[in-house]
Amino acid sequence: QDTDGDDRFGLGGEGDRDSKPDTDTPEVQPSVDNTPKCLNKALAGMSSRWKNWWIRGILTLTMISGFFLIIYMGPLPLMLMVHLAIQIKCFQEIITIGYRVYHSYELPWFRTLSWYFLLCVNYFFYGETVAENFGNLVQRDEPLQFLVRYHRFISFALYLSGFCMFVLSLVKKHYRLQFYMFAWTHVTLLIVVSQSHLVIQNLFEGLIWFIVPISTVICNDITAYICGFFFGRTPLIKLSPKKTWEGFIGGFFSTVLFGFIFAYLLAQYNYFVCPVEYSESNSFLIDCEPSDLFVLQDYTLPSVLQTVLRWKTVKLYPFQIHSIALSSFASLIGPFGGFFASGFKRAFKIKDFADTIPGHGGIMDRFDCQYLVATFVHVYLTSFIRGPNPSKVLQQVLVLQPEQQLSIFNTLKSHLTETGMIPPAIRGP
């Protein structure tokens, strides 16, 4: 009898109780075949296994082309919209699983509260992004300035209302259930929402910081699968019996190579390399002098490689060296995000997070490896690449109270005078 994971009062999950679809959770359907009819007809002749393989392949190609199409067409607002849509869908998938696990679909208030908390946290994060990156817009609009200055207070007040509503909604027989859903919602918010905002921060740093990590994770998925398919023998981890060491290592080397080449291709275009800025004329501007990271430089090869390749120096973008770090992380540590999701699915006895994408499962199934990578890229950027961004610092200064601006001005003036950047001024009274 599988009571593991049930708390001592017997509440905690499906256990072996239901292997049939629940009658009291009508909206959540077990695996539904979402494959569009046209595909079904076209593949009608093949055996079930090949058919599955073809559906997966076609959907993979569709998703990848969709990804590149959006980037190409990209006015940024479109990208942000898509990003927001993906985040909301992931949140919804995980919360739906929570409802099913705890049979809490009809719990009073709770659906409203979950979405309300999602709204609050998104409001908080988007507000911080706006304050940092859209300083021009904020300076011009009086109501926006007010919202930005008191942003934390407003977000906190919104969150607190949700918290108080939760406390007032506690119903006598459902306390534990409600606390579980509360915690489930918060952990989901922590994982899904915070990391999606890190993705946006990376994007504002330059589209290349958004594209290369995502592409390397996709590449690692595909090449590990292919290497495992052809060479796979030793299993990697008990959690995911289909993964093999050969796939893992083969995927690592191919991903590093892919990242290296892909970075070389992208680093040539200003469109990818420049930070995204919001200009005075109400539009996004991606134009700049590429930083040193994206200017070809000569590197002398170590003597070992010299004898092998018979070149003395090679012209590389410094960014390609960083891309090696990113690809290594994506192939060595990124899979742990996938194992975490596999463990989660086994723990709650679900096959896929949802059935949104035929052949692949839900959106979370595709994005599970991405999350750790997004955080890593952000931390990497702030630690190793980016010193403080001058325009951002300026925005922050302009948001301060006038007395503080004045004191900063004076400190800066004395500092600049000391270092000789401005001639000593005749200080007025």
Closest separation in Å from C-beta 8 to other proteins: 6
Cβ nearer to other proteins, comparing 26 with 429: 429
State the DSSP H helix or E strand holding residue 290, giving kind and residue range, or none if neither: none
Residue 124's closest CA among 202, 197, 201, 204? 197
Nearer CB in complex with other proteins: 281/401 = 401
Cα distance between residue 369 and residue 381, in whole Å: 19
User: Quick one: 42 or 171, whose CB is closer to other proteins?
Assistant: 171
Distance CA 1, CA 87 (A): 37
Query: What is the nearest approach in angstroms of other proteins to the Cβ of residue 112?
Result: 18
CB of 343 to other proteins, least distance (A): 5
What residues contact residue 96 under an 8 Å CB cut-off, 6+ apart?
A: 28, 354
**Structure tokens, 38:** 């046209």
Q: How far is the CB of 269 from other proteins (least distance, A)?
A: 25
Beta carbon of residue 314, minimum distance to other proteins (angstroms, whole number) = 28
Minimum separation from the CB atom of position 427 to other proteins (A): 7
Letter for the amino acid at 130? V
The DSSP bridge partners found for residue 429 are none
Using the minimum distance from each CB to other proteins, give the nearer residue, 156 or 231. 156
Nearer to other proteins, 63 or 381 (CB): 381
User: What is the maximal distance between C-alpha atoms in the chain?
Assistant: 90
Contact 313, 300 (CB under 8 A): yes
Given a contact cutoff of 8 angstroms between Cβ atoms, the answer to whether 237 and 348 are in contact is no
Which residues are paired to 111 by β-bridges?
none
- Write down the H helix ranges in 134-207: 135-140, 142-149, 151-168, 175-188, 194-205
Q: Which is nearer to other proteins, 20 or 238 (CB)?
A: 238
Residue 241 three-state SS: strand
CB of 423 to other proteins, least distance (A): 6
Contact 259, 213 (CB under 8 A): no
Instruction: Indicate the residue among 360 and 386 with the shorter CB distance to other proteins.
Output: 386
**Residue 178: is it exposed, middle or buried by C-beta count within 10 angstroms (0-12/13-18/19+)?**
buried
76 versus 385: smaller Cβ distance to other proteins: 385
CB 255 within 8 A of CB 219: yes
Work out how close the CB of 279 gets to other proteins at its nearest, in angstroms, rounded to a whole number.
15
